[in-house]
Chains A and B, each alone.
Chain A
């Protein structure tokens, strides 16, 4: 069966290469048959990779340890539900997953391409398939999942214990899809440049794909934070780890892009800027791949044994040189169709938003590469940790949230200072009220009170928009619920964006609470002893140990009380995997909208004592709730709008006639 996997990999490589070359040659030689044939090859590529994937998954299910990859990432003791996780748990499988997802998205993008982008579609297909060729070729030569061992072992090594978590079903696939998916809007941008189109034909299609990928990447990052929070056992969710940062880096210019592309869509402005942003986003995504696969900084998130980092670095370099080369070649055709009419306009707010996102990206990048630079030039590795990122990125994120409160209140083209001040009155009052309330509730420090105030101001700005819009519709005879729904439906990109903004405000709210007001303490308790932290009291009842085929599971039995009242029974513990010399933690968490009580049981001694680390982490729940809100906002933004011109056109004709 493994042979079938290898053959379909080879077929997919041949198809992708043919699709790339055929598209380009067919376009140059004006041979539409060749272009269409190449397109069919692009459709078939993911089918062949799907067969390869099915073969690999079948090898895991049947414990085919002849395959080195299967033997290295599973064993007979592995729970069957982990088969899907094992598929992409290692370098080889994740490369296959990336190739499958990217070729599938590419085929969909080419198949569903609207008429506007069709003249440049062969170039776009070339870019998409060239990227696919790279992934398949690297996989086949450096990380082949179908490599067969000369002698099959009786049992495999098993799956990495840190991956035995429900979050692993979704975090790696969404994050990898988000990273590689940036290549889709990138390909439309490069196709546009190669095709020499002079207008904004690529914008709508790239916007749709960028939003889909943005939503996926956002969910991937949040799921990663959830996974880290529940299994890594340090009580936090974001450590500014180099590979975490590598996932965040493309998200920043991509977020800037989904904002500024609206300006190009609406006004034909920021043409160069948008192309530059999507190139940067793709560059950062490739940088993430480099960091993940043999990059210079080890991380809990990376494939440590991989040595293919340099290949990704070269690929990143080639991509940037070619993309920026095309950018400068077509420079003259990328001039804005309209000037910026006022610095007090929605366009200007989008530009400022873009600059802030880029500044965050640059300071994050600097924090990631600085240890490498000191290592190369001074021979010492200086670790750049959380204090640096908190100091430099924190205020920039706060400035973005401030901008989120002003931006929605600004009209396109031009606003007057007096009208903006009038519109800002309500958000400012709410912001001051929120800051005051947070001080009353115990946020004594200036910075967190300011951050809570800014969150309140941004939420009030959006709420004002919704309330006023609903009121206007209600005045025309619609009931309030109908008026609200119709308001959102009347301009989905705008109001879907506001819903996503609510999600971002929730993230800022949770990050402020958990960053400034988390407390922790360590306790060594014998059975029957109690410990107190804040309003909580925990009673350690005893521990249990269970020997399983591949691990030893230890768990503590803890009764939790708050202000003297029983609230929950928790079983924090960990599982030790002897073959990996590694433990995976299971935190005991009592979660409420106000705070998490988070208990780790890190050690059990022979005399029955247990060592606990207890955290009180405020507002964490809002971080997890933000994910679905942002996805919902993205879906609303993307939902196709009904063509309304037929209704409007009569009005326009009348208006024209009356002029």
Chain B
């Protein structure tokens, strides 16, 4: 009984471990520091730094001069990140439009190709 159960367990384990060799999951382990997600994350951390800076000013921990200096620097960083993000997301949108156009064109070609056949029928 124990041996049968153990054998079944071993088969189950081997089956699970072998799955990726037959059906690879779609999610790949890639990370591009210039992709939209990481840029969003960078934007978020700059925003958090700004929030903390504002809080520190309100608590009287940084004086006005230091606050303005850091604010300017964070704004500059934020502007650069936003520009990069606009570019990446713009590229992505452009790519999506191109793909959509390609699909529509392909569909149109198929419809054109099939239309005479239907007419003949």
Interfacial residues, chain A to chain B (CB-CB below 8 A): 1, 3-4, 7-8, 11, 15, 18, 32-37, 40-41, 44, 48, 51, 115-119, 121-122, 199, 201, 265-266, 409-416, 419, 422-423, 465, 468-469, 472, 490-491, 494, 643-645, 648-649, 652-653, 655-656, 659
Contacts and interface: CB of A to CB of B under 8 A. Distances in A.
B63 to A, nearest CB: 6
B88 interface: no
Which one of B13, B21, B47, B53 has the highest number of Cβ atoms from chain A below 10 Å of its Cβ?
B13
Given A15-B13, A37-B19, A656-B82, A423 B60 contact: yes
B75 to A, nearest CB: 5
A370 B101 CA distance: 76
A118 B17 contact: no
Contact of A648 (B6, B17, B31, B50): B50
Contacts of B16: 40, 44
Contact of A32 (B17, B24, B46): B24
Given A33-B20, A37-B19, A494-B52, A419 B60 contact: yes
Interface string B25-41: 10011110100011011
Q: Which 3 residue pairs spanning A and B have beta carbons closest together?
A: A36-B20, A118-B29, A411-B61
Contact of A490 (B45, B51, B56): B51
A15 B17 contact: yes
A469 B59 contact: yes
B50 to A, nearest CB: 7
Nearest to B75: A655
Contacts of A36: 20, 24-25
Residue among B25, B29, B40, B48 having the largest count of chain A Cβ atoms under 10 Å: B29
A260 B3 CA distance: 52
A1 B2 contact: yes
Given A4-B5, A33-B21, A412-B53, 8 more contacts: A3-B6, A32-B24, A266-B49, A410-B61, A649-B43, A652-B47, A652-B82, A653-B82
A97 B53 CA distance: 45
Given A44-B13, A648-B50, A413 B82 contact: no
Nearest to A12: B13
Given A415-B61, A419-B61, A4 B2 contact: yes
A48 B44 CA distance: 41
Interface in B59-96: 59-63, 66, 70, 75, 78-79, 82
A567 B100 CA distance: 82
A115 B35 CA distance: 11
Contact of B31 (A4, A119, A490, A649): A119
B98 interface: no
A413 B61 contact: no
Given A37-B20, A40-B17, A656-B79, A412 B56 contact: yes
Nearest to B73: A413
A409 B55 CA distance: 12
B10 interface: yes
A580 B5 CA distance: 39
A40 B19 contact: yes
A415 B16 CA distance: 57
B105 interface: no
Contacts of B44: 643-645
B55 A652 contact: no
A410 B50 CA distance: 16
B86 to A, nearest CB: 10
Contacts of B61: 409-411, 415, 419, 423
B18 interface: yes
B52 A491 contact: yes
A36 B23 CA distance: 11
Contact of A199 (B29, B33, B40, B58): B33
B78 A411 contact: no
A415 B31 contact: no
A115 B41 CA distance: 11
A40 B55 contact: no
A652 B66 contact: no
Contacts of B78: 652, 655-656
A7 B75 CA distance: 61
Contacts of A34: 20
B9 interface: yes
A7 B48 CA distance: 51
